[in-house]
Amino acid sequence: MHLFRTKSVEQSIRDTEAPEHRLRRELSAFDLVVFGVGVIIGTGIFVLTGQVARDKAGPAVAISFILAAVVCGLAALCYAEFASTVPVAGSAYTFSYATLGEFPAWIIGWDLILELALGAAVVSVGWSGYFVSLLDSIGITWPETLANPPGEGGVVNIPAILLVLLVTVLLVIGTKVSSRVNAIVVAIKVSVVLLVIVAGLFFLKADNYTPFIPPSQPSESTEGIHAPLLQVLFGVTPVSFGWLGIFAAVAVVFFAYIGFDVVATTAEEARNPQRDLPIGLIGSLVITAVLYAAVALVVVGMQNYADLSTAAPLADAFKAVGHPAFATIISIGAVAGLTTVVLILLLGQIRVMFAMGRDRMLPPWLAQVHPRFGTPYRVTIIMGALVAVLAGFIPLAQLAELVNIGTLFAFVVVSIGVVIMRRTRPELPRAFRTPLVPLVPILSVLACVFVMLNLPVETWLRFLAWMVLGTLIYFAYGHRHSRLRVAEKGAEPK
């Protein structure tokens, strides 16, 4: 069936050599690890720790962070095999095209466009809030009307727009330049995180760790479309604390790791993708898991978990021990952290659309690279402008969870794809092999589905609506113009 025709790995690799579509291989394994750390460490490390400790897991929140890293690690092992076997831009889209076929590839590409573009816009808005707060701490007042979109007490979010435009310029100039800026900013935010950990050690109280796993108790349940799908389907009553609370917390803190898969979108720009991509994917996860667990242990040791704030737990914990100056340092870390998150999410989103344009599932002119900079400048400028508009003018709070479900869907598809490619193309050289296939991919799918079931029904409905829109666009354009279909007919598209 034409909808499920696959694009061979060999053809995908040959397409990367076309002069008009060739990206420069400039990224080292270190660059990829820094990209991964840069996109993972964001507000999660400064906000989620307190929220989840107080409401779900208590002092054992560090266990939840480790378990969430294991869930992501299962998917990372699958991504690592694909990225080293098919070192082509596009991540899950390209992998799906090689295993599941054209229509599933389109669906996953459309899903990634939603995940990464919306994620970049949402994070830009979060960056704006920290930036305005930081200005306020040094005596500069930014007008509220120019820091919020219509409907949220403002006219336009200018800081968010400026950030997206600055990042867009960096991405047009070149991936290597972007990686250098990213490395500098990541160094700043990791330094802030380490400073917070070390400083917090001096204010730990043993009593705050007792009991380490508080007794379980029922938590508030929601109804209707706001309820988690797990509750609607199976009548599962939400639980806080105890081991069930720790596992419930995994579904929340999982989102702190979202974004590591963006490393796979840069496969075509890695110097030695077979070696460097697995290092980038798995190395960044290990580093951030250690940092997240350490921060979690420090914050619950500084202040009793029941007293932690949900808005700024780390900053408020330092205020509680008489050191409010650390709140400013933490704001600096958050501003630096979110800058790199926006940069890397937008980079990944652009590479997915670049791959889709090269396959003519989207207009091919999107995949043209700049003659001097060697970057897909057209799609970069277009998507940078679109994300800037979203960040500046659209209230995004209700749409943020779409980023999460989009990521999880991509994880599921990649995990299934590894099993399929092992059966259909066992002879392919694999520089990295996912261990214990099919066990690890199956565990990855089950873990991701569990987290997806903990998302609200309204998130599922919005996601399905986006998929329906993508299907309509595929049949209106992508299906008729795809390179594979045109090659079968023996003619070039008009």
Each residue of 42-99: pLDDT tens digit?
767 777 788 889 888 999 999 999 999 998 999 999 999 988 888 887 788 988 998 9
Mean pLDDT value of segment 16-30: 77
User: Would you say 487 and 251 are in contact if contact means Cβ atoms under 8 Å apart?
Assistant: no
What is the Cα–Cα distance from 40 to 285, expressed in whole angstroms? 8
Taking alpha carbons only, the member of 202, 207, 194 closest to residue 305 is 207
Task: Give the Å distances, CA to CA, from 210 to 60, 175, 187, 215, 306.
Answer: 10, 48, 34, 11, 12
* Confidence (pLDDT) at 359: 92
**Total Cβ atoms within 10 A of residue 143:** 11
* Confidence (pLDDT) at 490: 65
Q: Whole-model pTM?
A: 0.87
Checking if the pLDDT of 494 tops 60, the result is no
Question: Side-chain half-sphere of 379: how many Cα atoms within 13 Å?
Answer: 27
What is the Cα–Cα distance from 110 to 107, expressed in whole angstroms? 5
DSSP E strands, 402-466? none
Taking alpha carbons only, the member of 122, 216, 213 closest to residue 160 is 122
Alpha helix positions (H), 229-365: 229-234, 242-253, 273-302, 313-320, 325-358
CB under 8 Å to 330, separation ≥6 — which residues?
46, 192, 196, 312, 314, 315, 318
What is the Cα–Cα distance from 442 to 439, expressed in whole angstroms? 5
Mean pLDDT of the chain: 87
Domains and CATH numbers, the chain: 2-489 (1.20.1740.10)
CB under 8 Å to 468, separation ≥6 — which residues?
none
Give residue 20's pLDDT band: very low, low, confident or very high (50, 70, 90). low
Task: Give the Å distances, CA to CA, from 32 to 193, 267, 335, 375.
Answer: 20, 10, 21, 17
User: Would you say 342 and 164 are in contact if contact means Cβ atoms under 8 Å apart?
Assistant: yes
In terms of average pLDDT, the best of 12-16, 253-257, 274-278 is 274-278
Mean pLDDT value of segment 111-136: 86
Interior/surface letters 456-468, b for 16+ CB within 10 angstroms, e for the rest: bbebbebbeebbe
The structure tokens listed for 292 are 């997240």
Taking alpha carbons only, the member of 313, 349, 303, 331 closest to residue 121 is 349
* Confidence (pLDDT) at 221: 67
More confident residue, 334 or 10: 10
More confident residue, 267 or 445: 445
Taking alpha carbons only, the member of 69, 344, 61, 68 closest to residue 189 is 344
What is the Cα–Cα distance from 452 to 111, expressed in whole angstroms? 15
What is the Cα–Cα distance from 138 to 141, expressed in whole angstroms? 9
* Confidence (pLDDT) at 492: 47
Backbone angles phi, psi at 4, to 5 degrees: -115, 20
Checking if the pLDDT of 491 tops 80, the result is no
Tell me whether strands 239-240 and 217-218 are parallel, antiparallel or unpaired.
antiparallel
* Confidence (pLDDT) at 174: 78
